[in-house]
A = this chain, B = another copy of it.
Amino acid sequence: MKSKLIYTGIRVKDLGDSIKFYTNVLGMKELRRSKIAAAEGEVAILASEKGGYELELNYYPPGSKFYSSYNNGEELDHLAFQVDNLDAALEEARKAGYPLVLEMKGQTERWAYIQDPNGIYIELVV
């Protein structure tokens, strides 16, 4: 079929904590927030730039039919964010309470990971 990947929806334990991380640490903008009656939950939509790809934060409170305890599985490997300066970005993240958890090197490239408030690996790469 003809289709277009329009956003990635991650599940969060606390909407406020995750919004803070993605806006304060990674500089995303919160575009909108809304309650989804059909899902008995709430979502916040973020993007790095106007018209950019959207990250949807999905929160289901206890009692929602979609609520479940939060287990970190394998299906989401990581979300990748491009930064201007990797060392400066890592230092800024560290100061905000999100230290480096893994650094990787290729033949010429170098990239690194921090973890979001739910344990999701966030790749930082130039």
Contact = CB atoms under 8 A, between A and B. Distances in A.
Interface of A: 1-11, 25-28, 36-39, 47-49, 52-53, 55-56, 58, 68-84, 88-89, 92-93, 104-106, 118-120, 123-125
A79 to B, nearest CB: 6
A74 B3 CA distance: 25
Q: Which of A9, A58, A68, A83 has the most C-beta atoms of chain B within 10 angstroms of its own C-beta?
A: A9
A60 to B, nearest CB: 9
Given A3-B89, A106-B38, A56 B27 contact: no
A89 B2 CA distance: 8
Contacts of A119: 75
Contact of A36 (B38, B72, B106, B123): B106
Contacts of A78: 9, 58
Contact of A48 (B3, B27, B38): B3
A85 B38 CA distance: 21
